[in-house]
Amino acid sequence: MTNLHPSAHKATYNNTNMNENEQTTYTALYPYQLAYAAGVSRKTMSKWIAAHREHLASLGYTADTRLLPPSAVRFLCQFYCITLTVRK
């Protein structure tokens, strides 16, 4: 995963496909960061976001928002099977 914005918010969600004790933490990302993680272009990520704009709006994303909220990142990762890796 690329560097995150200093004020990035974090949200933790239980993933039903994982062990009960494991949780996935999603952090707010810029669309270009999520595109990089998915291995697609920024243009493709913009199309994916546009295709789900109504649902993403219910998760706190607006057209003026530069940073995707953690709930929007979670939705896009699950819908498009994007695996985010964490650097230690």
What pLDDT tens digit does each residue of the chain (88 aa) get? 444 444 444 544 444 454 445 577 899 999 999 999 999 999 999 999 999 999 999 999 998 999 999 999 999 999 999 999 876 6
The residue type of 82 is I
| Nearest CA-CA partner of 10 in 25, 21, 29, 31 | 25
Looking at residue 12, what is its pLDDT?
43
Total domains in the chain come to 1
CA distance 35 to 22: 25
Looking at residue 38, what is its pLDDT?
96
Residue 22 lies in a domain: yes
Residue 34 lies in a domain: yes
Looking at residue 24, what is its pLDDT?
78
C-beta separation of 76 from 69 below 8 A: no
Residue 28 lies in a domain: yes
Residue 3 lies in a domain: no
Domain that holds residue 56: 10-79
